Amino acid sequence: MGAVTVGEWFAQLQPHPPAALHARLSDLLAEHAGRPAADVADVCIDTGVALLERMLASSDTGRDQALDLLAVDSLVTYAFQAAADRSWEIEERAATAMARIAALPVRAGE
């Protein structure tokens, strides 16, 4: 894609996410927008895990959480999309991401 920063990578996504999801993802990624594009996979996983952890800790499972749940799903998907050109890392990255996500309910309930 030729992006230099996380913000540019996100701006160049094709297809673009729906407007409400795009706005939520933009908010979530704003503090990382200036980081190098090489960090997109890590930024997306870290941001998605942090959001999911906040959601689990809040115990709010209402419909108003649907957009955030879609954002978590999108961030994890984008992390692997960004990492696709480093295929030798995918298996380890997937195992690490799954372990972090699987551990969330335990930590959130502590």
Cis ω for the linkage preceding 15 (within 30 of 0): yes
Largest CA distance in the chain: 43
Q: What is the pLDDT of residue 11?
A: 94
- Across the chain, which has 110 residues, the per-10-residue mean pLDDT values are 87 94 97 96 96 86 88 95 86 90 68
Looking at residue 7, its amino acid is G
Q: What is the pLDDT of residue 106?
A: 56
Looking at residue 62, its amino acid is G
Q: Is 52 exposed, middle or buried (0-12, 13-18, 19+ CB in 10 A)?
A: buried
